[in-house]
Amino acid sequence: MTALERPAPIDDGRCIGCGPDAAHGLHMRFTIEADKSVESTVTVPPGFQGWRDVVHGGVVALLLDEAMAYAAGAAGELGMTADLKLRFRKSVPIGRPVTVRARVVWRRRNVLGIAAGIHDAAGTLLASAEGSFVSSGTLAPGSTFGYGTTVRAGLPAAGPDPHG
């Protein structure tokens, strides 16, 4: 399927990362920061465990990928993952809050390069990712991306960045 054949994404609220209607989802909520990075603090429940007290590696990828999609949204784009490279540094704990952050680091036409990381309460980097996201369309100026997105006070909502 080429980019021209790729259908626009449809958000039906059932995303396992952020969807309010995902019965077994993580229900992540993001804040858009002044630099257009995004941040979410989440406590992963035992149902997402791999080894004892450790978040499953696939779920770690989910956390990072979700943050990266929101970073694309903060840049005014509906991004879909094209590739994702992960680095697991330390175990991500089950049942303890972690903070997931992501930001766009480059843009070429309709492709965004995005970096993300998961940090524990002490600020230690537990896992990181780099990825490319293909834009499937732009957000209307003044709109926000996804469920429960908060824009820091005094900042404009997501929309195309006039500085590219």
- Structural domains of the chain, ranges and CATH numbers in brackets: 31-150 (3.10.129.10)
Give mean pLDDT, residues 66-79. Answer: 94
Asked if residues 76 and 161 have their Cβ atoms less than 8 Å apart, the reply is yes
Give mean pLDDT, residues 62-69. Answer: 97
pLDDT at 56 over 90: yes
pLDDT at 107 over 90: yes
Give mean pLDDT, residues 51-63. Answer: 98
pLDDT reported for residue 148? 61
- Per-residue pLDDT of 76-100, as tens digits, reads 999 899 999 999 999 999 999 999 9
- Per-residue pLDDT of 9-44, as tens digits, reads 677 888 999 988 999 999 999 999 999 999 999 999
pLDDT reported for residue 67? 97
pLDDT reported for residue 136? 85
- Per-residue pLDDT of 108-159, as tens digits, reads 999 999 999 999 999 999 999 999 999 988 887 767 667 667 665 445 444 4
Higher pLDDT, residue 164 or 146 = 146
Structure tokens at 153: 């006070």
pTM: 0.86
